[in-house]
Amino acid sequence: MTENLHLSASHLLWSVIDWIYPPVCCGCGQDGHDICPECQTSLQRPGADICQKCGKTLDPLDGCLTCGAVLASYDAARAAFFYEGTIREAIHQLKFNGNLGISRLLSKMLFSVYLMQKWQPDLVTAVPLTKRHLNERGFNQSNWLAAPIARLVGLKFLKGALQKTLDTETQVGLDHTQRFENLKGAFQAEPVLVKGKSILLIDDVMTTGATFNECAKTLKQAGAKKVYCLSVATTRPI
């Protein structure tokens, strides 16, 4: 009964969001879809030639350029798509235009990537924003991706498991090392929620993996057993 109420509340929420933001394809502008079936077939996904740890495409000569630079604290990271074209536009629509309806499709796409892994998380959480940043944007796009995934996986979404307590400089324009340095000590985890748990951590985009790394490090310092990271998109290795 509670589950039915929960599902109908969720259905109502998405109906209201669809009414506020009528779906328009991020790729071709067609009405009625966030990403139409034709545009979905052209989305670029990481293939079989990926690093088993960070999910980035391997360099044919040098292997993983991301893990070669820093061995990250997370156990594995995977992404549904490359951060380009229609997916880049969809994430921009969600993040900067507040088109929250797109998160429903993106989280379903993420769920299909989750199903291909052999991960066994105990709970789901999302990469947090600081209170100041959250007040500026009005929402955390990663929460909007993580909550539907938790529902699909059948786990609790605990957004309080991780908090961002330090306002950091934007990562844009920083090099690889600076991105890792910039985030040091920026997060705090809640030991009561994470101790002994395996955690599925959700974000919209993975670039160098600095954010996932710092979040995973913080969660593990608070006693988390494993941290699995899932993002809608990942950049191609530079």
Residues forming the site for Zn ion (CB under 5 A): 25, 27-28, 30, 36, 39, 51, 53-54, 64, 66-67
Q: Please, what is the minimum distance in Å from the beta carbon of residue 89 to Zn ion?
A: 10
Q: Please, what is the minimum distance in Å from the beta carbon of residue 185 to Zn ion?
A: 24
Q: Please, what is the minimum distance in Å from the beta carbon of residue 66 to Zn ion?
A: 5
Kindly tell me which of 55 and 128 has the beta carbon lying closer to Zn ion: 55
Q: Please, what is the minimum distance in Å from the beta carbon of residue 69 to Zn ion?
A: 9
Residues 6+ apart with CB under 8 A from 83: 91, 205, 207, 233, 234, 235
Kindly tell me which of 23 and 128 has the beta carbon lying closer to Zn ion: 23
Kindly tell me which of 51 and 105 has the beta carbon lying closer to Zn ion: 51
Rg from Cα positions in the chain? 17
Kindly tell me which of 49 and 181 has the beta carbon lying closer to Zn ion: 49
Q: Please, what is the minimum distance in Å from the beta carbon of residue 235 to Zn ion?
A: 13
Kindly tell me which of 54 and 90 has the beta carbon lying closer to Zn ion: 54
Three-state SS across the chain? CHHHHHHHHHHHHHHHHHHHCCCECCCCCCECCCCCHHHHHCCCCCCCCECCCCCCECECCCECHHHHHCCCCCCEEEEEEECCHHHHHHHHHHHHCCCCCHHHHHHHHHHHHHHCCCCCCCEEEECCCCHHHHHHHCCCHHHHHHHHHHHHHCCEECHHHEEECCCCCCCCCCCHHHHHHHCCCCEEECHHHHCCCEEEEEEEEECCCHHHHHHHHHHHHCCCCEEEEEEEEECCCC
Q: Please, what is the minimum distance in Å from the beta carbon of residue 79 to Zn ion?
A: 12
Kindly tell me which of 54 and 194 has the beta carbon lying closer to Zn ion: 54
| Contact call for residues 190 and 160 (beta carbons, < 8 A) | yes
